[in-house]
Structure 1
Amino acid sequence: MGAVLAEVAHFGKASVKRVYGDWTTSQLSSWKATASEHVIQPMQQFAHTKGKNPKDDALIIDAMDLLYTGRFQGFCIVSSDSDFTRLASRIREQGITVYGFGERKTPPSFRNACDQFTYLDVLGSTDGDSTSMEATLARGPSPRQDSRLIDGLRKSVNTASSEDGRPNLATVGQLLRKWQQDFDSRNWGYPKLSGLVRATGRFTVEGQRVRVEADSR
């Protein structure tokens, strides 16, 4: 949870922090210390009926109550459950940014309903730790072989291209995030976008600008 809150701090101040569950059960005993340490308010929700998930309903109701106050510029939802897809969409309809966090198993519907989605397993891969970086790289195709990544980067570079054909790297990253909500250079083990772009072998990074290689296809 500390890693999630550290990531959230990049977006703004988390003024309301809540975690939902049945705190009378032993399964959440380890979360009590975590909630206390990070000043997160535990929200009690009894499991009255098997097969139902009342804590999800409680979270949705509370989120809508907070939305209607008009006090917030962003919401962070930490879940791998597609049940929050409509909630994320509804918040965005109000012009409010939604940041999602979840496991790799998170359904595309929820990931795509967020403005930005971050996988929980990359949050420990930003401190240069070689072990976590290697584990991240082992999960999927290398940047050179990832056609979805390369096509997305090329599309973003072409869209953001300036007169000299070298758009700003930050702008390229912002565009790609809009088209691929779960895009994050850390998904490939690179803490910075510039390192990932170089690793594809299809682009040249010059300072804060990027250009497509002449022989790129």
Structure 2
Amino acid sequence: MQEESRIALLIDADNCPASKIELMLDELAKYGVTNIRRAYGNWKSTSLNGWADKVHEFAIQPVQQFAYTKGKNATDSAMIIDAMDLLYTQRLDGFCLASSDSDFTPLVMRIRANGLKVYGFGEKKTPMPFVNACSRFLYLENLITESPDDSAAPSAKPERVSSKALRGDSRITSLLRNAVEACVGEDDNWASLSSVGSHISNQTPFDPRNYGYKKLGDLIEATGLFDTERRGSHLYLRDKRSKGKGSAAA
């Protein structure tokens, strides 16, 4: 039996809403077991009252961090120091950093240089260098409870980026087209969605939910840039700019 990946979750409680913790843990469960859970902040502050019950309910270790100097974020420094300690003293496969406040880019790059995954959670104000450095990053505004009957309140659902806006985003179009081109078969111009998704994941922390789409296939179809064809349970893609070399399998 394959051993589960071990992930350390480090939370900047001052800049991460307690209401999202269950959804964050559910998301991390897709990648492994979160066996280290720590939340950092000044626990004497009333601003962390929302976390009081959550740290017990979800077995999170609260780490006290006093604000030694006004205007300085001591919590970020404590998280960085602990992350480096864990990197060298524990057998981990990945880290998750939950914060919207500061730029953890150097820390993320250092962890990834050691071959570990780094998952990030933060609000849309999170600095882009931090977002782009992670193996995968998800905006907390787009992390919502899945409803079996899809009856979640409209205000809770992330706003979808329109097809026109997706096509007008050169970063997205280039990312998708380059990924499809890299994954096409030898005999035709079709690429499987699974291989395209893997290629993108290895390249950038692109997550379709950050654009309001539940799945990568939904976002790709929304762009209107690709022909799609289902072969059994697998979806295949072809850039519409191609001349359609090769015929599709039945």
Matched, 1:213 2:237: no
Q: Greater helix share, 1 or 2?
A: 1
Give unpaired runs (5+ residues) of structure 2. Answer: 1-20, 244-250
In the TM superposition, what are the counterparts of 1:142-153 in structure 2 within 5 Å? 142-153=165-176
Residues 93-102 or 203-212, more deviating: 203-212
Matched, 1:202 2:229: no
Partner of 1:170: 194
Aligned length: 215
Judge conservation of contact 1:75–1:98 (CA < 8 Å) in 2: yes
Judge conservation of contact 1:156–1:175 (CA < 8 Å) in 2: yes
Cα separation, 2, equivalents of 1:73 and 1:162: 32
Cα separation, 2, equivalents of 1:102 and 1:168: 31
Q: Secondary structure at the match of 1:118?
A: strand
Instruction: Encode CA deviations 1:37-95: one digit per residue, 9 max, x unaligned.
Output: 11111111111221222221111111111110241000000012343111111111111
Shift of 1:110: 0.8
Partner of 1:37: 57
Judge conservation of contact 1:142–1:188 (CA < 8 Å) in 2: no
Shift of 1:214: 4.3
Judge conservation of contact 2:164–2:223 (CA < 8 Å) in 1: no
Residues 98-107 or 146-155, more deviating: 146-155
Matched, 1:92 2:119: no
Cα separation, 2, equivalents of 1:196 and 1:69: 41
Give the letter for the 2:134 counterpart.
Answer: C
Partner of 1:14: 34
Cα separation, 2, equivalents of 1:3 and 1:149: 26
Cα separation, 2, equivalents of 1:91 and 1:6: 23
Partner of 1:5: 25
Partner of 1:157: 180
Q: Greater strand share, 1 or 2?
A: 2
Which residue of the other structure, out of 17, 24, 28, is the alignment partner of 2:48? Answer: 28
Q: Secondary structure at the match of 2:191?
A: coil
Residues 11-20 or 26-35, more deviating: 26-35
Instruction: Encode CA deviations 1:150-180: one digit per residue, 9 max, x unaligned.
Output: 2211111001111222112122122223444
Cα separation, 2, equivalents of 1:6 and 1:31: 17
In the TM superposition, what are the counterparts of 1:100-115 in structure 2 within 5 Å? 100-115=120-135
User: What is the TM-score with the length of structure 1 in the denominator?
Assistant: 0.89
Give unpaired runs (5+ residues) of structure 1. Answer: none
Matched, 1:75 2:95: yes
Judge conservation of contact 1:126–1:186 (CA < 8 Å) in 2: no
